[in-house]
Amino acid sequence: MNLNGIMAQLGIGSRETVYLSITPGVGLELLQIDSAAKTVKNYDVQPLDYNESLKEIVNVDQFKEAVQTLLMQSGISNNCGVILSMPIVHAGVSTLPLILTDEAVSEAIISEVEQVYVFKKTEPVVSWLDLKTTGDMRKILHGAIQRSELDKIESALREIGAKLITVEFSLSSILRALTFSGLAEMQMQEGTDWNLLVINQNGYYLCPMTGNAVNDYYEEPVPIKSFDNEEVYNALSASMNITLMSYPASYLYIISETDMVSAEHLVKQINFSGTTFFIDNNVHKTTEIVTVSPNVLPAKIPSISLEAVGIGAYPLVTLPLKLEFKTSASTTASGSELVQIKIGDKIIEVSPDAAQKIATMIVVAMLGITALLAVLYPVIVNVNQKKVQQVDARVMQLLKEYKLYESQGSFTADKEIKRVLEANRTKLMTYSALGETVPKSLWITYFIVKDNGKIDIKGQTSKVDDIYTFYKNIKSALINSQLRLHKLELVSESDAVIALTSDTPVIYEFEITNMTNEELAPAPPAAGAKSPKTPKQPEPAKPAPPPLEPIN
């Protein structure tokens, strides 16, 4: 049985996680990030109609087909988990007594949200988090999405074999994209007050921030589509200038999500005492948000939105703002709820029975390992103690031998250290002298320096004068070495003929040494020790080299 079969027996299943964004004006985006290189390794987009007034997908079949196409073109199995970013359906801030339980807080938020026109005919699903506590009151940021919309998305994904894991609002995705890309690095510093202002088709919303934490949320409807050209900028700037007076900060970051407004143009009309930044997340975009790998088609790169980058960075960046809307819990065939465990890009679903089996196996394994260690520990300690005793005995023996040699005068540590240092000094000086004195047209073929200061250098050149120059230089560098020019001759008979019949350069070989002839050519082994080798036949006489000049 393979691993998948074993996991199935235990009630464990795994799914690859896919990150999608419903982005008005762009479509349905799929984006994957190379976590090591911090670049977009895969991106694709499909058309998707979204009604920004009703806050819902226009055609669920179009959504389902778009998901299938994105998965197929990206080589991803339909059996995957989906984490989805959506435009904000509803968000707001409430102040409630600290004494309320979480369940009571949820009920209070639902009662408030049900007054919004979007939820007049459909049940809301809410998510909330605490912003700050003052005295006995708590300030809460909440969001809501239609239950029908969540069910519609979940059902469409289930029909193609995928599973909806969670939905988050675009505000979270935008903040995560700004963090991941480094575009708001100075604003995200701890203790820094700044304002995030996002413009969409229905107006704009403002999030006063401190570092990466949201302090408040304010939404202002502006009928952008009813204005023409410059009128929209005048209407937005007039409204924003009044709103910003209530939220002083060091920085203002303006992001335009609608093609009707250029953030770069709008920022010039905003009266703000701090430093202003902008991003056009629309057709006015002039720079890319993040680095993109060559695998992404160039024609699709301009479509990459902040929301897509933010949802793609979902497993890489954690922020305090976490408004998420989860579906009803997954269940097994018996009706038991599945537990979801996220590991990297995988979602592991484990049934309660499987979780109990795994926990039992882990406990048994840990007990087995503990028992094994209890048995093996004394054995391992005993073996290591014997090894330590052997090492100690060897050290004592060496110390005794050292003291014996030192008492007999045959060895002293000072003399040995001095001898080693002197030998190394001689070698170092010889290497240095050799490197500084070799002429360009002369090359060394053999070189040795022994511990007793004996040196032997062999080489070749086409110029006799270079040999003399090299010999003088190295002899001067090694004053007490007693070096001598032991050999200087032509390399072969053919060189002798060339030297006599033409002007073609010939090759001379030489040997400079302070070794004796016996050291250069050791005597053959004594008779009977080893079979003597056949004596080498004498070579034909070579022509005498040019006369040597006197060497001082």
pLDDT at 410: 58
One domain, residues 122 and 195: no
152 shares a domain with 203: no
> Which amino acid is residue 97, in one-letter code?
P
Quickly state the pLDDT bin for 350 (edges 50, 70, 90): low
How far CA 13 is from CA of 20, 98, 309, 341, 351, in Å, comes to 22, 41, 28, 10, 9
Shared-domain flag, residues 296 and 271: no
> For the segment 447-472, what is each residue's pLDDT rounded down to a tens digit?
888 878 889 999 999 888 888 888 88
CB neighbours (10 Å) of residue 538?
A: 6
Same domain for 452 and 478?
yes
Asked if residue 232 belongs to a domain, the reply is: yes
Closest by alpha carbon to 515, among 472, 456, 458?
Answer: 456
Q: Tell me the pLDDT tens digit for each residue of 373-401.
A: 888 888 888 888 888 888 988 888 888 87
- Within a domain: residue 534? no
For residue 459 the two structure tokens come to 């080489």
Structure tokens at 215: 């302090």
CATH code where residue 480 lies: 3.30.70
pTM summary value:
0.60
Confidence of residue 368 (pLDDT cuts 50, 70, 90): confident
Contact 513, 447 (CB under 8 A): no
Structure-token pair, residue 422: 């002197």
- Assign 353 a pLDDT band (cuts: 50, 70, 90): low
Does the pLDDT value for residue 534 go beyond 80? no
Residue range 95-143, pLDDT digits in tens: 999 999 999 999 999 999 999 988 988 899 999 999 988 889 999 999 9
Give kind and range of the element (H or E) at residue 444. Answer: strand 442-449
Question: Per the structure block, which two tokens stand in for 273?
Answer: 């005492």
In a domain, 525, yes or no: no
Cα(513)–Cα(515) distance, integer angstroms: 6
Confidence of residue 13 (pLDDT cuts 50, 70, 90): low
150-208 per-position pLDDT tens digit: 999 999 999 999 999 999 999 999 999 999 999 999 999 999 999 999 999 889 999 99
Q: Are 208 and 117 in the same domain?
A: no
Q: Which of 280, 305, 335 is a domain's end point?
A: 280
Q: What's the order of all strands across the beta sheet hosting 508-513?
A: 442-449, 455-461, 508-513, 484-490
* Residue 231: domain span: 187-280
Q: What is the CATH number of the domain that holds 330?
A: 3.30.420.40
* Contact by Cβ (8 Å): 356, 365: no
Which whole number is the average pLDDT over 71-80?
92
Tokens, residue 484 = 């001598």
For residue 345 the two structure tokens come to 């890009």
String of b and e for 128-159 (b: at least 16 CB within 10 Å)?
beebeeeeeebebbbbbbbeebbbbbbebbee
For 424, the enclosing helix (H) or strand (E) is helix 413-437
Domain count, the chain: 3
